[in-house]
Amino acid sequence: MTFFTKFCIPFIVGATVMFTVLAIKYIAWLRNLPKSDWRLIAKNFFSLRTVTALWEVVSESLLHRRIFKVNPALGYMHMSLAFGWFLLIAVGWAETVAYLGMRWVPLQGHVFFKYFAALNNISAHNPTFDFVMDLLLLFVLSGVGMAWLKRVRSRILGMRKTTKHVAFDRIALSALWFVFPMRFIAESVTAALYGGGGFLTSGMGAILNKIASNDVLHHIYEPAWWLYSLALGVFFVAMPFSRYMHIFTEIPLIFLRHYQLRPEAMEKSYDNFEVEACSRCGICIDPCQLQSQLGINDVQSVYFLRDRRYNMLQQKIANNCLMCGRCEQICPVGINLNTLRLNSRSSMRNIPHEGRYNYLRDIDKSSGEGKVGYFAGCMTLLTPNTMSSMHNIFQAAGEDVWWADRDGGVCCGRPLMLSGEMDSAQKMIDYNKALFTKHQIKSLVTSCPICLKVFREQYNINDIEVLHHSEYILRLIQQGRLKVGHTKDATFTYHDPCELGRGCGIYDEPRAVIKAVGELLEPAHTGKNAFCCGSSVANTAISDAQQLSIAVKVAAELEDTGAQTIVTACPLCKKAISRGAQRKVVDLSEIVAQSIK
């Protein structure tokens, strides 16, 4: 039996190139993993995590469960291509075994089995396999059809915008589009000439027999298989350099993620797995307000990852992101988009001199003796209503408070972090930590979600309980230390600040507090899907007018609820939204302070 013919060469070359490049890439990335990451892998390898990772590989890499959840049509498209192709390979292998028994067959023997079966005069056909293989081919072809459709009219598949691609992607994409139609034609011609094939290929074969003479069919027989092989070969060569790198990369990524590897403040080798696992599906484009509101089309996560991968990332792209987390939340591959962007920002800056924050010394301007610390946050100093409301709440609850920054403090460090300056942020963190320790506070309340996030995630102050004022106020109410009156006809709507909601997972507490004093009306986008106010400190690229434009849109949606008052729980959101709103915008603490009995 022979399993080689000339048209196999493109396929063999392509497959060799692909596997070689893949091996080189993965080995290099793994070798460069820092020791701490290797320790995590070693620790978690022989554990249940490997099993759960395996399950996720099936559900995500093959079935694309998460895309299904976002958009069923898109999910089907991805599943039909990935799972369908996988099954074609797996069932195809089983088919060769069924025909030839357990024996070694070179790769191309499996892939071009229909050709070699005819060549080697295997005339007895297995109708079950013929049927199943055709069914699978139809399954994949339906996905290819949808992919075509998506290129032409993305809206049909529920996407306002689809990704713009680079040259390698276009080559790979075109090749991929031809792989399955070519296979269909090659197998149909084979069926027409030599019989066999399931409902699809033999059906097509019968048509071909009708419209073309045997002579013509013999003439196109070899070229059809050539084209199929060429399409495969081109795709394989382009694959490791294109978006399709994600097909394989997602698998090691899932394992590594289950072993607790994460991107960090500085770029590291693990990031490669996340960056190249992006399939550029473009799901991140639609939720991006910079796109929908401002028409900025080149900064979304998909483009950021693409540019970073090809080493053509520009600072203005990296900086132009609200880091609202709306894309990260929806990303079907679960890539840590914000952290990756942050460490990109970090590696793109000038290294500042060490003594730049030497002035952070002996500047304690705090007041009060209490064991409950209140850190208003820089921005809150510009919303004195919040400050005075918190003052009234503390007084009503009989809380003895240490005021950390009423007369000016040191920034929490989060804004610097968000600009990729972790080392600078660390100096703020060290300063404030020392301050908290010096005053021996037991808990720390802040009105600023930006501060809250960094206190919780970077400060490592485990003996101090860090609370957002929404959590703190709710606790006071629940403990009966704060009595508030409920006004039946007071209607409020609530804007989730990004750093509080998606950032810290605090959705319920502010709502519970609002419900304690009045009626809550939810806007169209709320909770995990809430909009960003547009003034995020993470974005240093958009202009004031652009910030305002986003705020106007957000405010309009909040006002559409018909609520009398817009409530938020972040000084920055408050400032931003009140610029765009006709109705009153207040902080959560204000409505509580007004309702104290």
Partner 1 sequence: MKHVIVIGGGVAGMQCASELLRQNIAVTIVEKQQCIGGKIRNWHKLFPSFTPADEVLAAMQQKLTTHNNLTIRTGCEATCITPQKVTLSSGEELRCDATVIATGFTLFDATVKEEYGYGIYDNVITSAELEQMFNEKNVHLKQGGEPKRIAILHCVGSRDEKVCQRHCSKVCCVTGVKQAIELKKMFPTADVFNFYMDMRMFGPGYEEMYREAQTSHNIHFVRGRISEVSPTFNNRLQIKAEDTLTGRPLKMGVDMLVLLVGMKANAHNTTLAKDCNLTLQPSGFMQPKDSFLGNVASNVEGVFYAGAITAPKNIGESINEGTAAARGVVEWLEKR
Partner 2 sequence: MINFGFSINRARTIDLDRNNLRKSNEIIGEMPELQACIGCGSCTASCTAGNLTEFNFRKVHTLVRRGEYQGAYEEMNKCMLCGKCRLVCPRGINTRGIVMLIKRKLGDF
Contacts with partner 1 by CB under 8 A lie at 381-385, 387-388, 406-407, 544, 548, 575, 578-579
542 touches, from partner 2, partner 1, none (C-beta below 5 to 8 Å by class): partner 2
- Beta partners for residue 374, in sequence order: 403, 445
Paired tokens of 427: 């100096």
100 touches, from partner 2, partner 1, none (C-beta below 5 to 8 Å by class): none
User: What is the spatial distance between Cα 593 and Cα 389, in angstroms, rounded to a whole number?
Assistant: 5
Of 247 and 541, CB closest to partner 2: 541
What dihedral do alpha carbons 249, 252, 257, 259 form, nearest 10°?
A: -170
In the complex, what is the shortest distance from the CB of residue 297 to partner 1, in angstroms, rounded to a whole number? 26
Paired tokens of 296: 């900025």
In the complex, what is the shortest distance from the CB of residue 360 to partner 2, in angstroms, rounded to a whole number? 7
In the complex, what is the shortest distance from the CB of residue 558 to partner 2, in angstroms, rounded to a whole number? 20
Of 104 and 359, CB closest to partner 2: 359
Reduced to 3 states (helix: H, G, I; strand: E, B; else coil), residue 492 is strand
Of 2 and 543, CB closest to partner 2: 543
For tokens 């507490």, what's the residue?
Answer: 509
Report how far apart, in Å, the C-alpha atoms of 423 and of each of 208, 351, 417 are: 69, 10, 8
193 touches, from partner 2, partner 1, none (C-beta below 5 to 8 Å by class): none
Of 187 and 587, CB closest to partner 1: 587
Q: Measuring CA to CA, which residue among 325, 274, 252, 250 is closest to residue 65?
A: 250
Paired tokens of 357: 């924050």
356 touches, from partner 2, partner 1, none (C-beta below 5 to 8 Å by class): partner 2
Of 2 and 358, CB closest to partner 2: 358
- Beta partners for residue 484, in sequence order: 596
Paired tokens of 568: 């938020």
Which residues touch 113 (CB under 8 Å, ≥6 apart)? 92, 95, 96, 99
Per the CB < 8 A criterion, the answer to whether 450 and 499 are in contact is yes
Residues in the site for partner 2, rule: CB under 8 A?
Answer: 315, 319, 349-350, 352-353, 356-357, 359-360, 363, 378-379, 381-382, 408-411, 413, 415-416, 418-419, 421, 424, 428, 535, 537, 540-545, 572, 575
In the complex, what is the shortest distance from the CB of residue 552 to partner 1, in angstroms, rounded to a whole number? 10
Per the CB < 8 A criterion, the answer to whether 446 and 377 are in contact is yes
In the complex, what is the shortest distance from the CB of residue 548 to partner 1, in angstroms, rounded to a whole number? 7
Of 305 and 378, CB closest to partner 1: 378
Per the CB < 8 A criterion, the answer to whether 288 and 160 are in contact is no
In the complex, what is the shortest distance from the CB of residue 360 to partner 1, in angstroms, rounded to a whole number? 17
Of 49 and 575, CB closest to partner 1: 575
In the complex, what is the shortest distance from the CB of residue 466 to partner 2, in angstroms, rounded to a whole number? 19
Of 536 and 561, CB closest to partner 2: 536
In the complex, what is the shortest distance from the CB of residue 258 to partner 2, in angstroms, rounded to a whole number? 35
Reduced to 3 states (helix: H, G, I; strand: E, B; else coil), residue 112 is coil
Give the relative orientation of helices 167-194 and 199-211 as an angle to the nearest 10 degrees: 70
Of 372 and 387, CB closest to partner 1: 387
429 touches, from partner 2, partner 1, none (C-beta below 5 to 8 Å by class): none
In the complex, what is the shortest distance from the CB of residue 593 to partner 1, in angstroms, rounded to a whole number? 11
Paired tokens of 211: 């419209």
In the complex, what is the shortest distance from the CB of residue 59 to partner 2, in angstroms, rounded to a whole number? 41
| 184: number of Cβ within 10 Å | 21
Report how far apart, in Å, the C-alpha atoms of 541 and of each of 129, 333, 499 are: 58, 27, 19
In the complex, what is the shortest distance from the CB of residue 405 to partner 1, in angstroms, rounded to a whole number? 11
Of 119 and 381, CB closest to partner 2: 381
In the complex, what is the shortest distance from the CB of residue 539 to partner 1, in angstroms, rounded to a whole number? 17
User: What is the spatial distance between Cα 387 and Cα 63, in angstroms, rounded to a whole number?
Assistant: 51
416 touches, from partner 1, partner 2, none (C-beta below 5 to 8 Å by class): partner 2
500 touches, from partner 1, partner 2, none (C-beta below 5 to 8 Å by class): none
Of 406 and 414, CB closest to partner 1: 406
Could you tell me whether strands 491-495 and 401-403 are parallel, antiparallel, or unpaired per DSSP bridges? Answer: unpaired
384 touches, from partner 2, partner 1, none (C-beta below 5 to 8 Å by class): partner 1
579 touches, from partner 2, partner 1, none (C-beta below 5 to 8 Å by class): partner 1
Query: What SS3 string covers 133-200?
Result: HHHHHHHHHHHHHHHHHHHHCHHHHCCCCCCCCCHHHHHHHHHHHHHHHHHHHHHHHHHHHHCCCCHH
- Beta partners for residue 367, in sequence order: 403
Of 202 and 389, CB closest to partner 1: 389
Cβ-count burial of 449 within 10 angstroms (0-12 exposed, 13-18 middle, 19+ buried)?
buried
46 touches, from partner 1, partner 2, none (C-beta below 5 to 8 Å by class): none
406 touches, from partner 2, partner 1, none (C-beta below 5 to 8 Å by class): partner 1
385 touches, from partner 1, partner 2, none (C-beta below 5 to 8 Å by class): partner 1
